Amino acid sequence: MTTVAITGAGRGIGLELVRQHVDAGDRVIALVRNPEKARELADLAATADGRLTIHRLDVADDASVKAGAAETAGEAVDVLYNVAGVSGPVPAELESADWAEWDDVFRIMVQGPLRVLQAFLPRLGAGSKVINFSSQLAASTWPYGGYYSYVAAKAGLNRLMRSVAIDLKDRGVIVGLVHPGWVQTDMGGEAADLTPVESAEGIRKLAREWTLERSGDFLKWNGETHPW
Ligand code: NDP
């Protein structure tokens, strides 16, 4: 049976990945910072024959990540999805910036994925995949301003995970960076192009087909290569 672990699993694209993996018969380790609020996850778990379990894990907090991962220690993980993210301040911060918010954005979206990867690393073997949620805003081709902390964090994540991909190649662990599309979630808003269903379907296919030769690549949800 395929086992997947998903951060940010309580809503948005993370929740839809949970739903689709459960429907596919997979074992799902759902990681959320507030299990009490994750009602839809609880409903899914009630009908998943024990294949879906919910664990508290705040990607911004080292102790929480270690404790959350330890709850399923010993289970090998085939796919680790680093989904959790926040948008940070939107307007251009030319004259001043909210540095506390910058710290949060980086703790969640740069350090977070590495922290989670470290906690799960003993359970990742040859052929295991780590799929990191990046964004088109990370690329030099993104034509708009604003979102300073978000663009900086996602660009940092891309470069960080490319290095991690190189360092994990000998172990056969595959590391991917994915732009999920502009998706109708709390973050993407109602006007976005894609439904969470479409985005998650594409990303699951990518996760199945990603090869070691393409470890460290930045792809779109539909399999196209994303420019850096
Ligand atoms: P949502 O805003 O719908 O959901 C964000 C998720 O991240 C929530 O589950 C939230 O949990 C979780 N999260 C935030 N901070 C933490 C934390 N410290 N620890 C654990 N979980 C946390 O976002 P999307 O589903 O739209 O986005 C998913 C990913 O895709 C993000 O990384 C985002 O940057 C990226 N992305 C999204 C795009 C879009 O158009 N939607 C476009 C490009 C990239 P909680 O409920 O507790 O707040």
Q: What is the CATH number of the domain that holds 199?
A: 3.40.50.720
The closest residue, in CA terms, to atom 16 on ligand 1 is 84
Please tell me the predicted confidence (pLDDT) of residue 33. Answer: 98
CA–CA separation, 203 and 224 (whole Å):
11
Could you confirm whether 150 is annotated as catalytic? yes
Q: Which of 103, 107, 29 is nearest to 61 (CA)?
A: 107
CA–CA separation, 107 and 102 (whole Å):
8
Q: What percent of the chain has pLDDT over 90?
A: 100
Residue 226 lies in a domain: no
In degrees and rounded to multiples of 5, residue 194 shows phi and psi of -115, 150
Contact assessment for residue 139 and residue 149, using Cβ atoms and an 8 Å cutoff: no
Band of the pLDDT at 152, cuts 50, 70, 90? very high
The closest residue, in CA terms, to atom 13 on ligand 1 is 84
CA of 170 to the centre of ligand 1 (A): 31
25's tokens: 């018969």
Domain coverage including residue 60: 3-220
Band of the pLDDT at 105, cuts 50, 70, 90? very high
Radius of gyration of the chain (CA): 17
DSSP string of 28-71, one letter each residue: EEEEES-GGG-HHHHHHHHTTTT-EEEEE--TT-HHHHHHHHHT
Q: Cβ–Cβ contacts within 10 Å for residue 72, how many? A: 17
Ligand 1 nearest atom to the CA of residue 150, by list position: 34
The closest residue, in CA terms, to atom 31 on ligand 1 is 85
Ligand 1 nearest atom to the CA of residue 34, by list position: 47
Please tell me the predicted confidence (pLDDT) of residue 190. Answer: 97
Please tell me the predicted confidence (pLDDT) of residue 206. Answer: 98
- Calculate mean pLDDT across residues 158-182: 98
- Calculate mean pLDDT across residues 138-159: 98
The closest residue, in CA terms, to atom 19 on ligand 1 is 58
Band of the pLDDT at 114, cuts 50, 70, 90? very high
Instruction: Please state the length of the chain.
Output: 228
CA of 33 to the centre of ligand 1 (A): 11
53's tokens: 């379990």
- Reported as a single tens digit per residue, the pLDDT across 52-81 is 999 999 999 999 999 999 999 999 999 999
Using CB distances shorter than 6 Å, the residues near ligand 1 are 7-8, 10-14, 33-34, 58-60, 83-86, 108, 133, 135, 179-180, 182-183, 185-188, 192
- Calculate mean pLDDT across residues 202-208: 98
Ligand 1 nearest atom to the CA of residue 58, by list position: 19
Ligand 1 nearest atom to the CA of residue 182, by list position: 40
Q: Name the helix (H) or strand (E) containing 3.
A: strand 3-7
Band of the pLDDT at 210, cuts 50, 70, 90? very high
Q: How many domains does the chain have?
A: 1
Residue 228 lies in a domain: no
CA–CA separation, 127 and 78 (whole Å):
7
- Calculate mean pLDDT across residues 177-206: 98
Q: Coil, strand, or helix at residue 105?
A: helix
